[in-house]
Amino acid sequence: MYCEYGDENAKQVNHIDGNPKNNAEDNPETICHDCEKINHSGFWAQVQGILEVYQESKYNQNEIIRFTRELRQKGKPDEEIKAFLGLKNPVAWEEDPDYLSKLFGFISSRPFRRMPKPLLSEEEQKDRLGDRANS
């Protein structure tokens, strides 16, 4: 299902069942940062504004990720990459897995709208809530 990019410095933990608290041995897996952006497309499309969605492509999603990475490393601009991939008919991102499953995601090289705040661990969240309750 994923592109199988081998750079250990570009890996992300993914929870197969979507529950970040479920660290059962068979639930976490590692995927590349780009595959993670496709998995969590709402954040990258709606919040960060860098994920585009298309109805047509010459390639499957994993190939799109691999070719995009390779072509960016060669200095190719987004428009040239999208033409190579045959990405056509851009559509709006919608929070609907059935709708999204028939589409193709492209991670643009546009800068993020804003950098996300670092996530707090569960323990840090509890500490902050406790501090508020004691105030």
The residue ranges of every structural domain in the chain are: 8-133
Q: What is the pLDDT along the chain (135 residues), one digit of tens a residue?
A: 578 787 777 778 888 888 888 889 898 888 888 888 998 898 889 888 999 999 999 999 999 999 999 999 999 999 999 999 999 999 999 999 899 999 999 999 999 876 656 666 778 777 777 766 665
Range list of H helices, 40-121: 41-42, 61-73, 78-85, 97-101
In the numeric block, which tokens belong to residue 32?
A: 């590349």
Taking residue 120's Cβ as centre, other Cβ atoms within 10 Å add up to 11
